[in-house]
Chains A and B, each alone.
Chain A
């Protein structure tokens, strides 16, 4: 499994855009990049997944440069309810998911 590195924490204010960058220098050709969100005392929730370039859904956007050694999760106009831990994972197929420490995003009023 490709090891990932992301910031431990980020602070933001309501209405701002939050960008979390994840480094995965050893990503393999077949690996997808997946982001999960976890609120306290809840299971993680799938947010978005991508392979290259840009992916957008109703919740977030995922930007992946050509070399795929990093990715950036973008949360537009965050609200207090977006306060959570965000995990970046890289892997494929039968590989087990390995959760790192994640990024704790705190949104303030």
Chain B
């Protein structure tokens, strides 16, 4: 299957700093990538849809100025958590959709554990 690489897998930062997470599709081109957040013992929550060459679409309640998304190429999307605070600590997961819109299969990265001190 398609491979999605996410980096870093774990990051610790001080409150007020910014953190960038990268999501790459390794063996396919992804015009659309998605960013999710998952808190302990909870399901995945979609944060935003990232489209190559255009602005991301954010879900209701997600601050676009705090979670900056850039999808500059067909294989790379980045999520930057700006001015991170302890409440932003979570597990962030990206996914990329494989072509064939009728089936909408998404392949996921391994996730990034963010801990804000």
Contacts and interface: CB of A to CB of B under 8 A. Distances in A.
Contacts of B107: 46
Contact of A42 (B45, B106, B110): B110
Interface stretch (A14-22, A75-83, A86-94): A86-94
B104 A92 contact: yes
Given A43-B6, A44-B108, A30 B46 contact: no
Interface string B43-85: 1111001000000000000000000000000000000000000
Interface of chain B, main secondary structure: strand
Contact of A46 (B44, B45, B105, B110): B105
Contacts of A46: 1, 105-108
Interface string A66-109: 00000000000000000000010001111111111110000000
A61 interface: no
